[in-house]
Amino acid sequence: MLRIGLTGGIGAGKSAAAAALAGFGAVVIDADRLAREVVEPGTPGLAAIVEAFGPEVLAADGSLDRPKLGKIVFGSDSARARLNAITHPLIGALTASRAADAPPDGVVVHDIPLIVEGNSGAGFHLVVVVMAPEDVRIRRLTELRGMPVEDAKARIGVQATDEQRVAAADVLLDNAGTPDELREAVGELWTERLLPYANNLAGGTPAELPPNPVASDPLVSGRLAFAPLQAGAGTPDPSAAGAFGRAAARLRFLLRTPDLPVDSTPGLPGVLDLRVTVPDAEAATAALDGSGWIVGAFPDGAVAYSADPGAPGRLFFEVGA
Looking at the structure, tell me whether residues 99 and 144 fall in a common domain. Answer: no
Within-domain flag for 120? yes
**Residue 170 contacts residue 125 (beta carbons within 8 Å):** no
Q: Is 52 exposed, middle or buried (0-12, 13-18, 19+ CB in 10 A)?
A: middle
Number of domains present in the structure of the chain: 3
Between 235 and 133, the more confident residue is 133
Cβ atoms of 118 and 160 closer than 8 Å: no
Flag the least confident range among 85-94, 142-151, 182-191, 264-273: 264-273
pLDDT-based confidence at 234, cuts 50/70/90?
Answer: very low
Answer whether residue 220 is part of any domain. Answer: no
Q: What is the pLDDT of residues 191-229, one digit of tens each?
A: 999 999 999 999 999 999 887 544 433 333 334 554 443
Mean pLDDT of the chain: 88
Tell me if 222 is assigned to some domain.
no
Q: Are both 8 and 110 inside the same structural domain?
A: yes
Q: Which amino acid is at 279?
A: P
Q: Is 211 within the bounds of a domain?
A: no
Model pLDDT for residues 217-226, shown as the tens digit of each residue: 333 333 455 4
Asked if residue 131 and residue 241 are part of one domain, the reply reads no
Asked if 275 and 318 touch (Cβ cutoff 8 Å), the reply is yes
- Helix, strand, coil % (nearest 5) of the chain? 45, 20, 40
- Please report the beta strands in the chain, taking only residues with DSSP state E, as ranges in sequence order: 2-8, 27-30, 107-111, 126-131, 171-174, 219-221, 224-226, 262-264, 272-278, 293-295, 304-306, 313-319
CA distance 269 to 295: 21
- pLDDT value for 63: 96
Domain range enclosing 66: 31-103
Q: Which CATH number fits the domain that encloses residue 272?
A: 3.30.460
Numbered residues of the known binding site = 11-16
pLDDT for the residue numbered 212 = 53
Closest CA to 214 of 143, 271, 259, 286: 271
Q: Are 105 and 194 in contact (CB under 8 A)?
A: no
pLDDT digits (tens, 9 = 90+) for 99-114: 998 998 999 999 998 8
Q: Domain boundary residue among 49, 70, 103? A: 103
* pLDDT value for 74: 75
To 10 degrees, the CA torsion angle through 271, 274, 275, 278? -150
Q: pLDDT value at position 227?
A: 47
- CATH number of the domain within which 165 lies: 3.40.50.300
| Structure confidence at residue 239 (pLDDT) | 45
255-267 pLDDT, tens per residue? 999 999 999 877 7
Q: For 23-50, what is the mean pLDDT? A: 96
> CB-based burial of residue 286 (10 Å sphere; 0-12 exposed, 13-18 middle, 19+ buried)?
exposed
Residue 158 and residue 297 share a domain: no
Q: Are residues 149 and 191 in the same domain?
A: yes
Q: Residue ranges for the binding site for ATP?
A: 11-16
Do residues 6 and 111 both lie within one domain? yes
Q: Are residues 296 and 262 in the same domain?
A: yes
Instruction: State which of 41, 73, 103 marks the end of a domain.
Output: 103
CA distance 255 to 279: 11
Which residues 6+ apart lie within 8 Å of 296 measured at CB? 206, 304, 305
The pLDDT of residue 236 is above 90: no
